[in-house]
Amino acid sequence: MAFTSKYKAKKPDANGIINFTAEENNVWQELITRQIPIVENRACDEYLTGLELLDLPKDHVPQCHEINGPLEKATGWTVYPVEALIPDDYFFELLANRKFPAATFIRRPDEIDYLQEPDIFHEYFGHCPILTDPTYAKFIQHYGEVALKASPDIRKLLGRLYWFTVEFGLIKTNRGTLCYGGGILSSKEETVYAVESNIPERRPFNDGTDAIRTPYRIDILQPIYYVINNFQDLYNMLEDDIVQHIKDAIALGEFSPTFEKESQQPFC
Ligand SMILES: [Fe+2]
């Protein structure tokens, strides 16, 4: 059954300003105030440097221009307000042009800890800081270029790469294995769990083939994370004939899921 959102996208006015209510600004304030200390020792340096650079406001939901000033200066990326779920072609075209598609609504207070769809806190706090890193910035732009040219079957599996990197990626650092994925870093519970719990498996990402073979669900704490060595490895994986890699992964077959049923709902 198709996913139906409980939320309505908020449209920017003629000056590009989105009007958020006092309650919505309060939700942002609560989310960012509690999440900053949680990510401090659990996010990689590139993310934390970006978070400092963006200097996100604490007392109100940021407007696009507040993010775009420092972000564009760092890597040429900007955020681009969209309806939460947009067609694949449009999504990849935006990435290929260094525009990060960002939802414009914020979760309700009763869903403050978890919601299934990406809201503006997920987009801005989870994804935008790391977009200030030049190598990561180059990787995600190239991901958009590759996906735009790919067939539907290849795209589906490129979606798994996105999931296990951009959304739920971990990275080796000299402070241990830490987070860079926006799906983790915008979640209070998953940021702690991904770094500290002994429940999930943390597998080496290597050339990405295993991640491509791994089914996932969007509505549970991840049972498996893939750990990269650095962001250049991610870029190199795309350059190293990723389409052939995906075909090889298809030939090898999918890993058995470690959960009951795979969710089909896309999440980005
Ligand atoms: Fe996302």
SS (H, E, C) 197-231: CCCCEEEECCCCHHHHCCCCCCCCCCCEEEEECCH
Q: Does residue 187 have an active-site annotation? A: no
Is residue 14, in this structure, part of any structural domain at all? no
* Residue 260 located in a structural domain: no
**Catalytic-residue membership of 127:** yes
Number of residues that make up the chain = 268
15 is a domain residue: no
pLDDT of residue 266: 46
Ligand 1 centroid to residue 183 C-alpha, Å: 6
Catalytic residue flag (residue 30):
no
Residue 118's SS3 state is: coil
Query: How would you write the pLDDT of the chain (268 residues) with one tens digit per residue?
Result: 456 788 989 999 999 899 999 999 999 999 999 999 999 999 999 999 999 999 999 999 999 999 999 999 999 999 999 986 789 999 999 999 999 999 999 999 999 998 888 999 999 999 999 999 999 999 999 999 999 999 999 999 999 999 999 999 999 999 999 999 999 999 999 999 999 999 999 999 999 999 999 999 999 999 999 999 999 999 999 998 899 999 999 999 999 888 876 555 544 4
Q: pTM for the whole thing?
A: 0.94
C-alpha 119 – ligand 1 centre gap (Å): 9
> How many folded domains does the chain comprise?
1
Rounded CA separation 259/267 (Å): 18
Look at residue 1 and tell me if it is in a domain: no
CA of 126 to the centre of ligand 1 (A): 7
Of the listed 24, 46, 117, 122, which one is catalytic?
Answer: 122
In Å, what is the CA distance from 217 to each residue of 4, 24, 146, 163? Answer: 17, 28, 24, 10
The token pair that represents 215 in the structure block = 């089914």
Say which CATH number the domain at 55 has.
1.10.800.10
Tokens read off for 53: 């650079």
Q: Which of 24, 117, 167, 190 is catalytic?
A: 167
